[in-house]
A = this chain, B = another copy of it.
């Protein structure tokens, strides 16, 4: 998390979301590979190797790879390795949460071996004892982003319920993350391995959450294709700061790229074309976010 905080300052706060569903690739590119999983791997690797300093990390959403079965899991493993080989932290967006020995197995699964990531997302719903096996690994250099305030409409169903003793459900998660972050000596200057997922939704909410958790580094989804604005992200990017994820806005940018109009119409797009488009989208997102941060 320390490296991520540093790179977010140096390279800008963009997190490239490699949530690569094969349907995001044009058929003429897909057909060049033996399987959708191999096409996805080629696309991911090409993006990763051209990222330069446009991003501070990549987030890989495991659901899309699980959906491709065993081939997909191979692509997932190789994608994680490619990001780490580039010196960028990789966030495994796995939202795991379970008890006791099972949580220990998940921690082993995603902090070592074929699926080793630097940071993982976790779901705290079953209780705070479920976080322990993950925070044990945080003592050895790994990090977590626990779900705090998600960006979907359904967040009102449980996360936002008002409690008898005051506050809402997600405040309890926040209080526990604050406690854990303090144990790790978190400050605004040096975040701890205990991060939080905070959706890029509305300004007043962003301000409130940033002020409530000044020492916690945020993973910020919802920017770009999901509708969140750079100005709201900029609010969340104060104090201990954070990283702003964009997935489809980058991966599908070739679909709206004016310079590719003719090739697109002809069904003549190449891997290079769509990767170039994605990298241009990364740079635009980076500039958009930096501009908003400058005010």
**Which A residues have a C-beta under 8 Å from some C-beta of B?**
19, 21, 61, 63-64, 66-70, 72-74, 77, 95-103, 105-106, 108-110, 113-115, 123-130, 147, 150-159, 161-165, 169, 172-173, 176
Contacts and interface: CB of A to CB of B under 8 A. Distances in A.
Contact of A67 (B70, B109, B165, B176): B109
A178 to B, nearest CB: 14
Q: Which 6 A-B pairs have the closest CB atoms?
A: A127-B154, A69-B114, A125-B125, A129-B154, A66-B109, A63-B105
Contacts of A66: 105-106, 109-110, 115
22 contacts: A21-B101, A63-B96, A63-B98, A63-B103, A64-B102, A66-B105, A67-B108, A68-B113, A70-B73, A95-B123, A99-B152, A100-B152, A124-B157, A125-B158, A126-B150, A126-B154, A126-B159, A127-B156, A127-B157, A127-B159, A158-B172, A169-B169
A60 to B, nearest CB: 12
Contacts of A98: 63, 95
| Chain A at the B interface: SS class | helix
Contact of A169 (B19, B158, B165): B158
Give the oligomeric copy count.
2
Contacts of A101: 21
Contacts of A102: 19, 61, 63-64
Nearest to A101: B21
B97 A123 contact: yes
Contacts of A165: 162
A100 B155 CA distance: 13
Contact of A158 (B61, B77, B95, B173): B173
Given A69-B115, A73-B70, A130 B105 contact: no
A150 B77 CA distance: 31
Contact of A130 (B69, B108, B113, B154): B154
A19 B127 CA distance: 21
A121 to B, nearest CB: 9
A143 to B, nearest CB: 19
Contacts of A154: 99, 126-130
